[in-house]
Structure formats: C-alpha cells, structure tokens
C-alpha cells in the first residue's frame, strides 16, 4: 500500500491511529509519503528532546514514512545525513523507517515507479531574509515585527537550498531518461509553472524550479502527480493533485 499526504510542518497528529486507522493493517513494506514541509528535521539543536521523541514515534508506526523536502526544512541538518541508495534512488535515512527521498530520483516502491523532486520558493518572506550576525539584526527584526511583516532568518528558519541546484535538476532529467521518461507517480513539493498559475490566479511568480517542473510535466508520461506547498486539498485536473492534511491511498 502507498498513502500520500501534504505539508506537516513538524505536526504529525494526523498519523495518530485514531485519525489514520488504516495503519492497523499496514507493515513496514507499506508507505506513507509526505509531499514536503515534513518539518521533522527542523530544530538547530540536533538532540532536541521533543523532535527526537516525535521522530522515534514516527519510526514506531507500523508503516514506513517517506518524504520529499519542502521549503520549510532545516537543510543544513538534512544535508548532514549520509546519502544512501534505497529502492533505486538516493535517500537520507533519518530513522530506519523515516526516509528523505532526495531530488531528481526515481524509486521503485511497492511495485510503482516514483519520480521525486522536493523544494519550493517560500511565499511567507515579504519582510525579507535576515542575517543573524548582521549588526542591525535586532533593529530590523523589531521593525518587521511591528509592521507584522513575515520574515525569516538565514540558516535558522530559511535556507537558499529551498531551490535546487543545476546539478540536481540535471540528475532528475538523466534519471528520467534512464526510465524512458515514464513513471507511475511524480511527487514534489511545488508544481509546474502553468499548474501554479491555475492555483494562484497570479499570486505566485514562476521560478527556476516551477519552470523545471513545467519541462518535466511536458516531457514525462505519468499517471498522477502529487504535491503540497499551497496548503489546500484540490484536484487541479485529473492528473495533478494538491494535498494538505488529507491522507489518501494511491496504491
């Protein structure tokens, strides 16, 4: 079985057996995929008690939890895990059964082929990105708080790594070619530029990642594409499905 859901932001309440009773019949060979903004590797302190307990709790579920990265992840910490090959693609194993599916990979999971590509541009940064070491940090922060402008802090709550490198995008292209540019599912955090335009009605600007995903959308044969980021549950069309709190079975 494969289930899929949207942004968690470090809140894993939806995986409680009361809310997600299907897990009672699941095993570690069954999977729940999070479409980014997993948020379980977030705190600066690598041994934060609450976060450690949450990850251990997720690992103790009957199934295996998989996630692509979103924009709200601590990329310094994610990147510090060793890269391993798992089911055909590159991963970071956060726990034995809590696994980060890296960008531009094709996995064979439960008999389905899945292309993964995390990351997205943050939309909640209209106040800007502050540098914690800057001499005017506190002054700027107070002014932004006074004006209720959303801001983030570099390497504390925002990372440039939210957007991919050219190398990651090229790796994705290469891996898709190896699979004949055809997969069963695509799992990302954001979506293709044209899909984003339908969802946002002009609110969101295309960026190098949405443009890359547009290219992938045009040239790849896929059955369904699941993504998060826009905090809603919506079928954009019959193939592209935006998820937030819902957990749906896809296989």
Strand partners, 66: 33, 99
Question: Binder to Fe ion among 33, 35, 37, 168 (CB under 5 A)?
Answer: 37
For 127-136, the CB contacts below 8 A with 24+ separation are 127/151, 129/153, 129/154, 129/158, 130/154, 132/156
Residue 37 or 73 having the CB closest to Fe ion: 37
Residue nearer to Fe ion on the CB measure, 86 or 244: 244
Q: Give the helix ranges, DSSP H, for 127-230.
A: 137-146, 166-178, 193-200, 208-219
Considering only 4, 7, 23, 243, the residue that binds Fe ion (CB under 5 A) is: 7
- Check residue 162 for interaction with Fe ion (CB under 5 A): no
Stretch that binds Fe ion, among 34-42, 104-112, 113-121, 178-186 (CB under 5 A): 34-42
Number of residues in contact with Fe ion, rule: CB under 5 A? 2
Q: Say if CB 155 and CB 134 are below 8 A apart.
A: no
Residue 115: Cβ-neighbour burial (10 angstroms; 0-12, 13-18, 19+): buried
CB of 159 to Fe ion, least distance (A): 14
Q: What does the binding site for Fe ion look like in residue numbers (CB under 5 A)?
A: 7, 37
């Amino acid at each position: 079985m494969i289930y899929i859901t949207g942004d968690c932001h470090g809140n894993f309440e939806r995986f409680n057996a009361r809310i997600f009773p299907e897990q009672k019949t699941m095993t570690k060979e069954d999977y729940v995929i999070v479409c980014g903004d997993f948020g379980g590797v977030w705190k600066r302190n690598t041994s934060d008690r609450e976060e450690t307990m949450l990850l251990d709790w997720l690992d103790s579920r009957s199934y295996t939890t998989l996630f692509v990265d979103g924009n709200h992840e601590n990329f310094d910490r994610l990147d510090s895990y060793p890269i391993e090959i798992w089911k055909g693609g590159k991963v970071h194993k956060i726990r034995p059964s809590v696994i980060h599916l890296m960008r531009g990979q094709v996995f064979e999971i439960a008999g389905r082929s899945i292309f993964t590509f995390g990351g997205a541009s943050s939309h909640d940064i209209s106040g800007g990105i502050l540098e914690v070491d800057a001499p005017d940090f506190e002054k700027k922060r107070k002014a932004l708080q006074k004006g209720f402008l959303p801001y983030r802090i570099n390497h504390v709550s925002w990372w440039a790594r939210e957007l991919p490198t050219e190398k990651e995008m090229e790796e994705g292209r290469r891996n898709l070619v190896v699979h004949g540019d055809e997969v069963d599912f695509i799992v990302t955090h954001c979506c293709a530029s044209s899909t984003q335009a339908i969802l946002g009605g002009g609110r969101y600007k295309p960026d190098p990642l949405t443009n890359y995903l547009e290219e992938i959308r045009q040239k790849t044969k896929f059955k369904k594409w699941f993504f998060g980021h826009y905090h809603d549950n919506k079928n954009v069309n019959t193939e592209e499905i935006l998820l937030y709190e819902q957990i749906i079975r896809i296989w």
